[in-house]
Structure 1
């Protein structure tokens, strides 16, 4: 239910949210609520966002889930806009041309068709850098690229002793390095030791003024926080 629908049903505009909470409804996002006892799963959140923004069509990984495809990573609400919209709270919005024939309805939700959806996913795959060392690195690069951030991938830097080391990403002008840690990070005592030595070497590189480290979960589950952290660091390092 949308808050506007609750108001139309007789609740006061100022007290609608309070009344719905008291009755056991769950807030999905600003202005949208799930009925008591209903699980706030991805499909429900997609439907709520589409009720608020009917010009959006579920696409990419979210459309794959709607079609029953099992993904190996957590999925966020993703849409393609048919009206030039650039943002929607709680969702990733792609601006791509979309014909009516490429839209279908699944469980009451407008989604890209089973032909268009893999094409969109393959288009995103084409943006990945083959030099990336892991899927998490590729995803981090895509997340940064969506926000207009384009660091060097697998960038080389020279330590104070003249040794060459690689960073997953480097904003060379600002001197900001980004490291993406996978599941195998610190898997053994030796790996932990090597990682500590490498981190100390990176800190001594003249080209590197600061290093940020993010986990796989940061990349896939908390990408907005990752981007905000990177932007703050870049602002701090700007002369």
Structure 2
């Protein structure tokens, strides 16, 4: 019999691999537990000391079910595409124009693992796994990312926009995929081009017509989900600003405020959830705020937290409107 650690792949051991290598089924479970292996799901174990995170779980499920392709929210994590959070119950928030939006959830455990598989797809993988059955997943829709089979960025964004419950959810995904930004502490380039999304949403699938309407609201210059929501909410009342325009201080330094109402000389900054972390980072933030006010194009700067944007957008809009009327 081979040592169990030799049989593992990527930190995952399937029971069927061990049995095929000569381990008696009656002795296997006890040996695995004594040696510190962790049960991921029925038929799959994590090597001792390995963190059973969402990627390891996805790896195990793809070993067990080779037809599964990471998609929707799971593919978004792999491609570092941001999404809006969900309600505590796990479902999407309703009536976004009347109810406050939740911030993007940072823990991957807040969402179930999602896969797409050829129809008819078997499920029975538990409540934390969602399988989307399809007849339209072509080889061109698939790629490999971080060791997992996944839908391409274009297919991933298309799936998410087509199945979004709200405009905000859809446009946040599109903006994130189209923009150059830092996601999860990693700075990345845009993962998809607008033309690719247009082609993806041209297919006659459920939700495609509404998705094409929402895609037209995307802004590749957007820097965060909070900026996307702020832009949409301001636009709802006829307030349209430039997103991330380049302005210069009197000393020639180039800055990019989140929004600029150029005629009124009003800049609007949306502050994210990331904590400053160090005194130096906090000092840089204050220096940038002061520098913005020294730009000839800017006469006033308004700052809002991401929490204000998600929870009380009407207050933000009212404050901006009042500043523009001065």
Give per-residue Cα distances to partners, 1:9-62, cap 9 Å, x unaligned: xxxxxxxxxxxxxxxxxxxxxxxxxxxxxxxxxxxxxxxxxxxxxxxxxxxx9x
Displacement, 1:116? 8.2
Structure-2 residue corresponding to 1:233: 323
Contact kept, 8 Å, 2:221 with 2:243, in 1: the verdict is yes
- Structure 2 gap ranges (5+): 1-83, 101-160, 171-210
Structure-2 residue corresponding to 1:135: 225
- 1:189/1:70 CA distance change after superposition, 3 Å: farther
Contact kept, 8 Å, 1:185 with 1:191, in 2: the verdict is no
Matched, 1:70 2:160: no
Matched, 1:198 2:292: no
**Separation in 2 of the partners of 1:193 and 1:116?**
42
Displacement, 1:70? 3.2
Contact kept, 8 Å, 2:222 with 2:243, in 1: the verdict is yes
**Separation in 2 of the partners of 1:139 and 1:223?**
8
Contact kept, 8 Å, 1:128 with 1:141, in 2: the verdict is no
- Structure 1 gap ranges (5+): 1-60, 80-89, 93-114
Higher-Rg member (1/2): 2
Determine which of 114, 118, 134 is the counterpart of 2:164. Answer: 118
Q: Secondary structure of 1:180's match? A: strand
Displacement, 1:129? 1.3
Determine which of 256, 259, 276 is the counterpart of 1:169. Answer: 259
**Separation in 1 of the partners of 2:285 and 2:94?**
31
Contact kept, 8 Å, 2:272 with 2:306, in 1: the verdict is yes
Displacement, 1:134? 0.8
Contact kept, 8 Å, 2:94 with 2:165, in 1: the verdict is no
User: Bigger shift: 184-193 or 156-165?
Assistant: 184-193
**Separation in 2 of the partners of 1:172 and 1:126?**
23
Determine which of 242, 250, 253 is the counterpart of 1:160. Answer: 250
User: Bigger shift: 122-131 or 218-227?
Assistant: 122-131
Displacement, 1:223? 0.4
Matches within 5 A, 1:8-23: none
Contact kept, 8 Å, 1:151 with 1:170, in 2: the verdict is yes
Determine which of 186, 200, 203 is the counterpart of 2:276. Answer: 186
**Separation in 2 of the partners of 1:76 and 1:146?**
17
**Separation in 2 of the partners of 1:144 and 1:135?**
14
**Separation in 2 of the partners of 1:181 and 1:120?**
23
Displacement, 1:119? 6.9
Q: Secondary structure of 1:178's match? A: strand
- 1:183/1:70 CA distance change after superposition, 3 Å: same
- 1:116/1:163 CA distance change after superposition, 3 Å: closer
Structure-1 residue corresponding to 2:299: 209
Displacement, 1:117? 6.2
TM-score (norm. length: structure 1): 0.51
**Separation in 1 of the partners of 2:278 and 2:99?**
38
Q: Secondary structure of 2:239's match? A: coil
Displacement, 1:185? 4.6
CA RMSD of aligned residues (A): 2.9
